[in-house]
Amino acid sequence: MNVVEQLPSNAQQIQFSLLRLKNWPDLPQLPAEEVVDLARVCALLSLRATAGVIIARILDLPKERVQQVLLQLHAMDCLNLQSQPAATTAAQSEAASAANDSVAPPENSFITKIWQRLAAKN
């Protein structure tokens, strides 16, 4: 049985959502051994929204410890969970890229002028 199957649905939701810190927990009220890991996770999530599954890799912490911290933060209502949108199909991706490729900026646009100056310097 893999780790994801053992987690409650709340933990799975946290693990596979885009997480952002809503507010910092009251760190002085927490046990001293939990503060360091909790503060590291909070610092990361306060800077940028991050998927729960990659926090352990970014902070070089054990996955189980990160999961405990995330559940604790969620219980304290410190996390903002943004569900990931469903994966787009290949046809949708191709249609979007084709639409983006067909739109060319005007020749006298600001971006085009900057690009031409940069290309001329090389």
pTM: 0.59
pLDDT per residue as tens digits for the range 65-98: 989 989 888 888 888 888 655 444 444 455 555 5
Q: Which two tokens stand for residue 85?
A: 């949108």
Residue 60: what are its φ and ψ, rounded to 5°?
Answer: 55, 50
For residue 67, with 0-12 CB atoms within 10 Å meaning exposed, 13-18 middle and 19 or more buried, which class applies?
Answer: buried
16-46 confidence digits (pLDDT tens): 788 888 989 888 888 888 888 899 998 988 8
